[in-house]
Amino acid sequence: MTGVALDRLQRALIDVQGQDRGDLASLLQYVRIVVSNDELISQDPRVNGMLINMLANATSTPDYSVRIQGGWLLANLTNKNNVCGIVDTLFNSNLDFKARGNLLEIVGKLTTQLQSDVAGWLKTALDRPTEYRDTRADIMQAVLAGRLASPETLKDSSPRDFATCVNLPNIGSTYVGKPSDNAAYSVYIHAGNANPAEVAKVREALVKAGFNVKGDDKDVDLAGTGVDYSLKGPDSSLALSKAAAISSIVYQSINRTIGTRAQSLTPVAAFGVWL
């Protein structure tokens, strides 16, 4: 039953714009009933940062029934390994203020458990200006100071969860870094059949971020879109983080989500952007 419910939920969240709000609220209630009887739900690999992020984004709405049902699910499915899904949503400055309060309440209960990298993402999200200031955010900021010094990191304790979290667009953007540092990285754009205007926007954004962007071609990858990064370097987590930053730049420039892909043949300090 849990598997069926999660599959239905994920399909609905992927196409959330096409969902009737009443139908979505009913589905959320159905999933709530099913998972409330599953004591192992938090250990299900499908309940990862990506699912939590889609759920947080879809239910951060003024629609009361959707927000309440979604909030209940988030409160019962979120743990310290997948809370990055909510953290990524908190980067959005235009969140409905009631939804933001709900999300802060859920994250607040996990603040003292956060790994240092997750604490860093959360601090960056809370530092961003918002229309409504919440005292819970101020309290969390004080706690985060201690968590930032924690030796425990998400990438060490759970590589799969780190890879999922760093691919979220707002979290990925925290790894863009300084333009002067990015000059050491080469980016090859493979445009395929993409709109030339969009390709130009991606190129401009990458150059602005300091990356050494090479000439683009019309090559198409039959495996689909993605940002290829090298497995050869001494620090694969750094390569993944920088690939996620590039993916985030693509998302912010043309509103397209492309994931990261580890490749054994990609040269060190080089990235292939397949559009």
d(CA 240, CA 260): 7
The torsion angle over the Cα atoms of residues 213, 215, 217 and 221, rounded to 10 degrees, is -30
**CA proximity to 106, closest of 145, 72, 146:** 72
pTM (whole model) above 0.85: yes
Q: Higher model confidence: residue 83 or residue 145?
A: 83
d(CA 20, CA 114): 35
> In which residue are the tokens 């998972």 written?
35
Q: Give per-residue pLDDT as tens, 167-203.
A: 999 999 999 999 999 999 999 999 998 999 999 999 9
d(CA 67, CA 29): 11
DSSP result, 164-180:
HHHTSHHHHHTT---HH
Q: Give per-residue pLDDT as tens, 121-177.
A: 999 999 988 877 788 888 898 899 889 998 999 988 899 999 999 999 999 999 999
Confidence of residue 225 (pLDDT cuts 50, 70, 90): very high
